[in-house]
């Protein structure tokens, strides 16, 4: 049996917090990871047109069929 209560009826309390070593490390790791992820997205996307053209050319030489750009983009 569960008793449902209205959240508005629950009294609010002031929660005191502080910066801990674990919290600081987590913030640092998340910040560093997001910068690294963004940098690598830029590095991978830069040669995208060249790689797409190579995929189309390789597909043509292997299967003797033309692969449309959308298919090459999906493969990339």
State which residues form the domain around 66: 48-76
Query: What's the start-to-end Cα distance of the chain, in Å?
Result: 54
In a domain, 6, yes or no: no
Number of domains in the chain: 1
Residue 58 Cα to chain centre, angstroms: 29
Give the C-alpha distances (Å, rounded to integers) separating 15 from 3, 12, 28, 69: 25, 9, 24, 56
In a domain, 65, yes or no: yes
Asked if residues 67 and 55 have their Cβ atoms less than 8 Å apart, the reply is: yes
In a domain, 23, yes or no: no
Local confidence band at 22 (pLDDT 50, 70, 90 cut-offs): very high
**pTM for the full predicted model:** 0.50
pLDDT single digits (tens) 36-61: 888 888 888 889 899 999 999 999 99
Would you call 68 helix, strand, or coil by DSSP?
Answer: coil
In a domain, 58, yes or no: yes
């Amino acid at each position: 049996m569960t008793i449902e209560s209205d959240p508005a009826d629950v009294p609010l309390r002031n929660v005191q917090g502080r910066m801990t070593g674990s919290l600081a490390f987590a913030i640092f790791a998340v910040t560093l990871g997001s910068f690294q992820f963004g940098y690598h997205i830029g590095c991978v996307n830069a040669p995208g047109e060249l790689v797409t053209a190579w995929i189309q050319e390789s597909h043509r030489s292997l299967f003797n069929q033309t692969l449309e750009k959308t298919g090459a983009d999906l493969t990339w």
